[in-house]
Structure 1
Amino acid sequence: MQTITHFINGRQDKGAADRTQPVFNPATGQAEKEVILATVGDVDEAVAAARAAFPEWSKTPPLRRARILDRFKMMIWDRMDELAAAVTAEHGKTFDDAKGEVTRALEVVEFATGAPTFLKSEFSENVGTGVDSFNVRQALGVVAGITPFNFPAMVPMWMFPVALACGNTFVLKPSERDPSASLLIADWLKEAGLPDGVFNVVQGDKVAVDALLEHPNVKAISFVGSTPIAKYIYTTGTANGKRVQALGGAKNHMVIMPDADMDMAANALMGAAYGSAGERCMAVSVAVPVGEATADALIGKLKPMIEKLKVGPGMDADSEMGPLVTRAHLDKVRSYIDAGVSQGATLVVDGRDYKVDKQGYEEGFFLGASLFDNVTSDMSIYRDEIFGPVLSVVRRDSYQDAVDLIHGHQYANGTAIFTRDGDTARAFQQDIEVGMVGVNV
């Protein structure tokens, strides 16, 4: 069985190797690899390597740093299929979804290659008598990223390319559920010319997370994951004097107005709700049709489309949705469907008994797409972030009712509206108190 290690000071490193965890292929349900879980000592070693590399790296001209990242970018373009296949093998998402993830990741790397421009400082002459003012942008030092399972290539690349471009050194703690992508990234950065110690990877669980949060030489932490853990990361990190950015959970609503193009809305919902098996923070998990006729028309469009959705192994070209990441997560999502039924929602399409009739995949973590109607705001399938292929339809009588529903939810990551009316579209983007707004007319 392949063992996935840490990457410290320019090489793969087993560290203490006194604890391991199985890594599953979600399509087969079999443990095909194991990952070493870091000790506090392993984290100390990674941080020490990053700290030792910092003085030289921070003094490296931004243009040279950008050239290394540019070589890294081109390597990913050339080897995109290899990285995407590694993501699919451990996460389960379809190969096309995985390639889309890598493409999005590359956009950040490409942005980071612009460091020579965005690191330019400002100069103000004569701010006072005989006084000029200028600023100098200086790197923080060792920074760390703690990333989730759902985008093992993209989310780390939200973080480290810009950190490296700005002269920081980096320690990545990826998800232990799908860790292989992190080693590919580390190997390719080294091949692109990144000096040893500038980028390090520690595999692990809460032991590694706490060690990073408490380490005096880690200056900043970036995190993406669930809201309870995000709060813990923020509270613990800031208590230890670190800069912290922590992105938590989401429950994204799509409003469908009576004048909307129903085919357009239904097609968009299929991708937004069931792409990557719903395991993404920007998944639309709540459809809000305005008016009973709108709701009935939407359900009529969605039901046959969902029933035809092809669920299967991510590497199969005809699969439109892959398995969930682990058996435990599969059971959790299934329990939410059970709860929706018991709490009185109408289960229009039931994905719980979906079977993949292909040899070798009988034990995979597969779940069909599910659709609920007549969901109310007090139900757990509405309140909680399910993180699976479950779409809830919450009917509302008016535009204002829909806006109030969205504002009443604890999570507000993104939202969208479908309408043919320009005034309604404009009002929505002004009225809504959500970070990201999609307008479809």
Structure 2
Amino acid sequence: MRDITHFIDGQSVAGTSGRYGEVFNPNTGEVQARVALATVGEVDAAVQSALRAQIGWAQVNPQRRARVMFDFKRLIEDNMNELAEILSSEHGKVIADSKGDIQRGLEVVEFACGIPHALKGEYTEGAGPGIDVYSMRQPLGVAAGITPFNFPGMIPMWMFGVAIAVGNTFVLKPSEKDPTLPVRLAELFMEAGAPKGVLNVVHGDKVSVDALLDHPDVKAVSFVGSSDIAHYVYSRGTAAGKRVQAMGGAKNHGIVMPDADLAQATKDIMGAAYGSAGERCMALPVVVPVGKKTADDLRERLLAEIETLKVGVSTDAAAQYGPVVSAAHKQKISDYIQLGVDEGAELVVDGRGFQLQGYENGYFLGPTLFDQVKPTMRTYQEEIFGPVLQVLRTESFEEAVALPTNHQYGNGVAIFTRNGRAAREFASRVQVGMVGINVPIPVPVAYHTFGGWKRSAFGDANQHGMEGVRFYTKVKTVTARWPEGAVEDSAFVIPTMK
């Protein structure tokens, strides 16, 4: 059986804990590899490697660091097919979606290629008599990232792309469900010219997570995962004096106004709800039609689209989505579907009985559609994270705005309308971090920033863009004077520029 090792100090390192996690092929249900789960000592070895490398890496000028990013970008593009196949074989998403996963991460690397400009400070000449004031952004030291199974390419690159470009070194703890791709990314990063120790990968479970959160030489931690774990990571990391950005769960809504282009909205909702088997924190699992006619028309259109939707193995170019990541997750989603029935929602389409011929042991679920969902139901209040779409009917714009605003999660939301005034008012009033106007998955481009509100995010800094630059750097401000002539008397009051 294939062993997936750690990547420490520029080389593959076998695990010594004697503990392993099984890595499955979600298409077949078969174990394809095992991944070593790190000890506290192995985490420390990765941090010490990063610590040794950081001083020299920070002294490399930003333009030369950017050249490494340029070369890394080229290597990712040259190896895209291989990387997508690795991702799909362990996650289950179809190849085209895996390429999109990697491409969205690569776009942050492209942003990091412009890091010399992003690191420019401020300068004031003549702030006082013969006094100039300027600021500089400097790296923190060693940063760490803890990433989820659903985007094993994109989210690691969101984190280490910016962190390393500004002069930090990095320790990545990816999901143990699909760990091969992050190791391959680290290998390519070394091939791009990064010194050993700049990017390390350690696998593991809570032991590894806690070791990173507690390690005194780790200065910043970035996390993406469920809200309960995000809160834990934020609390423990900040208690240890670290900067922490911890992104949690979501329950994104799609508001459909009576004047919306229903044909386009239906297509958009289908892709956003069922793409990647719904395993996206920016999926659209709740659709909120305004008015009975809108709801009835939308329901019929969704049903027609569901009948044509193709679920298949991840290598099937015609498939629109593949299996979910694990047997346990498939069971969790199935339990939520049953809970929806028990709570009184109308189960219009039940995906639990879906089987793919020749792949009966794969973790497949067909598309599921609920109607007549109520805000009091647990299936609405909680994140299902699967191919389950819920229709929650409303009678007014005000009611539709209130639903995402009052929900515990506040990651993303979308409105479908032709009315510019309604869209503008919605975007201004809704209490959610990312808003789409006729855009079903409003993930910002890499040079903007990604982050939700409420229980979807803990901490004050978002992912990537200039928020990422600020998170991974500290500001130093210098006040300089070059006096000439007679020695001045000592001043015993606070200096001013009066």
TM-score by length of 1: 0.98
Q: 1:116-138 CA distances to partner (integer Å, 9 max, x unpaired)?
A: 11111211112223321011211
Q: Distance in 2 between matches of 1:341 and 1:307?
A: 21
Q: Distance in 1 between matches of 2:143 and 2:420?
A: 45
Q: Distance in 2 between matches of 1:370 and 1:250?
A: 18
Q: Distance in 2 between matches of 1:149 and 1:19?
A: 19
Q: Distance in 1 between matches of 2:361 and 2:43?
A: 35
Match of 1:436 in 2: 434
Q: Distance in 2 between matches of 1:166 and 1:406?
A: 36
Match of 1:211 in 2: 211
In structure 1, stretches of 5+ residues that fail to align are none
Match of 2:95 in 1: 95
Equivalent residue runs for 1:304-343 within 5 Å: 304-343=304-343
Equivalent position to 1:407, from 396, 405, 414: 405
Match of 1:395 in 2: 393
Give the superposition deviation at 1:83.
0.8
Q: Distance in 2 between matches of 1:411 and 1:120?
A: 35
Between structure 1 and structure 2, the one with the greater Rg is: 2
Q: What secondary structure does 1:371 align onto?
A: strand
Q: Is 1:168 equivalent to 2:173 in the alignment?
A: no
Match of 2:143 in 1: 143
Match of 2:383 in 1: 385
Native 8 Å contact 1:310 1:318 kept in 2 = yes
Q: Which amino acid aligns with 2:298?
A: L
Match of 1:112 in 2: 112
Count residues in correspondence.
439
Q: What secondary structure does 1:319 align onto?
A: coil
Q: Distance in 1 between matches of 2:415 and 2:300?
A: 19
Give the superposition deviation at 1:320.
0.9
Match of 2:38 in 1: 38
Match of 1:3 in 2: 3
Give the superposition deviation at 1:258.
0.8
In structure 2, stretches of 5+ residues that fail to align are 440-498
Q: Distance in 1 between matches of 2:246 and 2:417?
A: 33
Native 8 Å contact 1:147 1:225 kept in 2 = yes
Give the superposition deviation at 1:263.
0.6
CA RMSD in angstroms, aligned pairs only: 0.9
Q: Which amino acid aligns with 2:315?
A: M
Native 8 Å contact 1:152 1:178 kept in 2 = yes
Give the superposition deviation at 1:430.
1.5
Q: Which amino acid aligns with 1:421?
A: N
Equivalent residue runs for 1:149-160 within 5 Å: 149-160=149-160
Q: Distance in 2 between matches of 1:435 and 1:25?
A: 35
Q: Distance in 2 between matches of 1:64 and 1:419?
A: 47
Native 8 Å contact 2:15 2:37 kept in 1 = no
Match of 1:77 in 2: 77
Q: What secondary structure does 2:38 align onto?
A: coil
Q: What secondary structure does 1:144 align onto?
A: strand
Q: Which amino acid aligns with 1:365?
A: Y
Q: What secondary structure does 2:137 align onto?
A: coil
Identity %: 57
Native 8 Å contact 1:307 1:349 kept in 2 = no
Q: What secondary structure does 2:138 align onto?
A: coil
Give the superposition deviation at 1:17.
3.9
Match of 1:262 in 2: 262
Match of 2:227 in 1: 227
Match of 1:67 in 2: 67
Q: Distance in 2 between matches of 1:90 and 1:15?
A: 20
Q: Distance in 2 between matches of 1:86 and 1:115?
A: 29
Match of 1:273 in 2: 273
Q: 1:55-103 CA distances to partner (integer Å, 9 max, x unpaired)?
A: 1111011111110110000011111111111110000001110011111
Native 8 Å contact 2:312 2:323 kept in 1 = yes
Give the superposition deviation at 1:307.
2.5
TM-score by length of 2: 0.87
Q: Distance in 1 between matches of 2:184 and 2:430?
A: 41
Q: Distance in 1 between matches of 2:169 and 2:404?
A: 40
Q: 1:178-226 CA distances to partner (integer Å, 9 max, x unpaired)?
A: 0000111011011111100111000111100000000000000000000
Q: Which amino acid aligns with 1:46?
A: A
Give the superposition deviation at 1:362.
1.4
Q: Which amino acid aligns with 1:399?
A: F
Match of 2:484 in 1: none
Q: Which amino acid aligns with 2:363?
A: F
Q: Which amino acid aligns with 1:321?
A: Y
Q: Distance in 1 between matches of 2:185 and 2:261?
A: 42
Q: 1:266-311 CA distances to partner (integer Å, 9 max, x unpaired)?
A: 1000000001000000000100000011100000000121122111
Q: What secondary structure does 2:410 align onto?
A: coil
